[in-house]
Amino acid sequence: MNLEIIILAGGQGTRMRSNRPKALHLIGGAPMLHHVITAANALAPQQIHVVVGAHGERVKAALKHAHAGETMPNLNWVAQAAPRGSGHAAQQAMPGVADAAMVLILYSDTPLIGAPTLRSLLAAAHAQSESQSLALLTARVENPTGLGRIVRDARGKVTGIVEQKDADSAQQQIRECNTGVLAGRADIIKAALARVDNRNAAQEFYLTDVIAHAVAAGVEIATCQPRGAAAVAETIGVNCSLDLMRAERIFQARQARDLLAQGVRLRDAARLDVRGRCQFGRDCEVDINVILEGAVEVGAQCKIGANTIVRDSRIGAGSIIEANCVIEQAVIGARCVIGPFARLRPHTQIAAETRIGNFVEIKQSHIGQGSKINHLSYVGDSELGVGVNIGAGVITCNYDGANKHRTRIGDDVLIGANSQLVAPLVIGDGATIGAGSTITKNVAAKKLALSRARQSTVPGWARPVKKTRSAEKSAETTTKKSVKK
């Protein structure tokens, strides 16, 4: 039986108090809808139908960006012209689904749902006869406040779902709750949806009413639950900023557990954020408050210091990233030392055994093997050879107010402290730039270039001395006497 998945993503997210569409609020640096699509795609469906509301084009654009670098699943975007409830949203997608298909209905605001749990739900639906193929994902919750309760008869058969506001005192004691995730034959769900009405306070069509209508038609509802206490978190719905924060921490705890299982040594698993995909070699250490964003690859025996951000970058084996560094779209070779307080901006390549020290900023540059930029320097739009030594306070002046220009520095060059290199500029192999120089012309190999005023000593000069109050009065008295004469 072919599988088709419907994801309801048209919610406005009123309780989020945000102008951002609800489906686009972030978990782990990616939209909630991205996580649900990833779980859905793992089930190899024939089609994924995503129902969107008024912000549909914005949602599409964000998903395309979130899936950049990945294989984008085949999505069928379905518009819900007006927000008339979850049942109405599902109805918009149903015309594109074959009657004999197995349908799985998911929600963009349940971002932690996992493929294994969904496979179990589908198995429960498949286990029934075709005329009875309908399964509901439920969860046993210690504090079910606000959730719909699963109502069963004396034989334990599901008879419906009652919302908390409609539940009597006995029903409010029920701990088995509705997650909204539903699987079954399309024709069964279509028939039940056709009977759903909007005679309620909100005047909306609720997908939960499908269960009662299916039971009335003689369909027996199978149920499935996430396995293990921690698995219940998969069913958490995000309706407000507090829910979003809780879901984020659960997601980050999962990422930390995965890294620990791979052998990465985390100083504190609760103080690490992974907002993308990361890969570590053996024997790596990560200190507190590190943020890994996008695609991050870390070689074996690396150390990442506290309060560091690494975004879309590769770090070679044996390298050390000291505390408080920001590394973005950079490639760092093996056995390098970066920081503390260093910033590597996009399109920077650092060759092996290079030292980038504190308060150094590098942008769109290639730094050759064994070179050193130890402190307080800016290197932009530059190419440095092997064994270059950049002194403190050196600046490559790469911008003329309209265009960027490149600086090319050969092997074994020494740039003295507090120098400015005005691009475009070429400095030959083995050249030396004297400290305090402003270099505007090319420098030949193995030559010394200087640009500074000649030092001189002024004879007879004395440093001014601050006058005391008594000396000021004496000078004032002398001036008055002189005027009288």
Tell me which residues are annotated as active site: 375
End-to-end CA distance of the chain, in Å? 120
Closest CA to 181 of 42, 45, 86: 86
For residue 288, give Cα distances in angstroms to 221, 252, 269, 321, 357: 48, 14, 8, 13, 20
Query: Which parts of 281-371 are beta strand (E)?
Result: 285-286, 290-298, 303-304, 309-311, 314-315, 320-321, 326-328, 330-332, 337-338, 343-344, 348-350, 355-358, 361-363, 366-367
The answer to whether 104 and 121 have CB atoms below 8 angstroms apart is yes
From CA 16, how far away is CA 21, in angstroms rounded? 9
Only one residue has tokens 């005391």, namely: 468
From CA 368, how far away is CA 351, in angstroms rounded? 5
**Residue 353 corresponds to which amino acid?**
E
Q: Is 294 left (phi over 0), alpha (psi -120 to 50) or beta?
A: left
* Torsion of the alpha carbons at 208, 118, 110 and 189, rounded to the nearest 10: -30
Host H or E run for residue 29: none
Give Cβ neighbours of residue 295 (< 8 Å, ≥ 6 apart): 69, 276, 277, 278, 312
**Residue 211 corresponds to which amino acid?**
I
